[in-house]
Structure 1
């Protein structure tokens, strides 16, 4: 019976990873690099307004904000930085940059806590848009994006305060989107890691996202899926207004993904590209920061659906973690006279591990990690299961915690 149970688990894992490796197109994003920057054409170019929310980011801003302000482009562009009630030296860092760059930087200090129903990042962005004159008249918490008028062809760029941008990135990104007739461009950054725990967990996150949100669905106008992340979302103002802006996702902790879905639902055509060395970040500063950040996102990213979370957890245990246990167990059973079923189970478990590593290889290359990290799926998935369980518990019973704010648990989706 044990041999047959091991064989069933190994077979399930083989089928799942075989589909990922051979059918899903999970690694297709590597085939879509950001175009090399070209000389900008003569004549008027669509402008870019960059909106950057930040809270206690004094360690990053002297470099990251300056990189945005000093972009090499002929496009009219300005940066709106929203200091979301920082308690560190963020105001001083921003003041120094404002003195150096003048009108190109609009600093906004937000000391108003998010109104009921708003999460902090969305509220900070809303306040920044209001200060920049990009919202319609009325109370800020209820204001929709202003009608851009004319062609509405100017761009809004949403990025985070800890993201690093190459000098030619805005030029390259806008040209990439315009060449494809896209209304939205999401760029995939290169991740930089500080330690073993960051590599182990974040690689599995990249693998999971590539499976759950494959590029071919994200760029299909007929599909609702999006592949947008907080590192870089470039969107036409007219589409952003049509989708309702960040007010439409005001209560979403994973607002970047939900914004992408709203933009597609409003008729936006999406492009996705890998930025390579031109866009990079370290997502979390050590294990504790990573734990807080991922427990913030894991369960809300599943729309707080307990059955979906339970199903995903079970599938992860059987297909991701299981093969690393099935193989030694089957070999031990076969060596002690477990019969042909045990030997078959061992062989199928080896095939599952090989397909698993092949599927993880694209994510491993995207993250710039050594070859053997493709073998880390079982250990990384086990760690992520703990994060998912903690996220579900926190969001259900304690409220979600991020950047010093705790958000009450809303009702679970039906």
Structure 2
């Protein structure tokens, strides 16, 4: 029985990946449940400890307890460790220890790394992991130094350094956790160029994906970018620019959000709120005070999310680009989806469509469930569900008011969102056998 269970776990990289994240969350829940983790010196309820551990490991940022005031230094460090392991992936961290121990990476471990980093082949996977670790540490350290220097103007040196490290790790991993206190996030720094620009750079660099970062660093030598990097950079740039424009226009005259700010501060806030939904969850404006049109637009940005192989969630920028390419090809009467003069394989388009439909189905189903159990406005529920599934962490204030059932639904969504609905399907489903025949082609009328 035990041997068959081990075969069931180790026989599938997606399954091992799913159970690995579950184990990390379980350990985090136990640690956060200790009295030493809370300022009051009391045990945190299992559901709140589980919610926080899941949110941290799945780099989401939704919280039922204020990170800055409820948790002690020990509790905050547990959260920070979960963010780092969850953001880079537990297999990446395990590989780091293997490097230190000078142990060879086995074929099975390479297969799991391939699945964890969303790669199409194992070629160069260990070299990529080395780069992932180096890039992450260098970027996080740089961000920590820059934020610490700015925070020195507002607090003691020790506190400023700690705040710089915590928020740099959180923002780069697109987690959205903050320790500003009272659920304020960066609202106190809405017009501060240093904090906003550094935070946006950390979020964008974490959301681009390590493959793109590697390509950009190698560009000076190779003078070329892969198709993947071109699509990610173009889509990311478009979404940030268009998103900032929409938010700026919708919120310019809103007295509860942007109106009191100067023109430059308005631009800064618009860009920050365009970057954060993909998928960091940081906010410099009060989300609940935004106009409904802006809130719904943020839902769309959250749904798209970051890029493959990154610390972010959502359906991913490449999925979005493939779908747009397919629509354009269909309208033009073309058979091939072409991006940057390259034809996409039909299997890639099918995968993009499958991920989008699965994600949309889960979001709609969860929203419908919460509509039956939570007495709140539909948009508020849709916003919370999309934020959880896309591992964003933005909220309109609903997290604190969720029932026990609502918290469980959000926990499940955060977990599925971090693993990916397709990976979850591969993990829980049977391994497909060899196809021995094909059915005759049939025709139906579409549209």
| TM-score where L is the length of structure 1 | 0.27
Tell which structure's C-alpha radius of gyration is larger: 1
Q: Which has the higher contact order (CA 8 A, sep 6+)?
A: 1
Whose strand proportion is higher, 1 or 2? 1
Q: Normalized against structure 2, the TM-score is what? A: 0.26
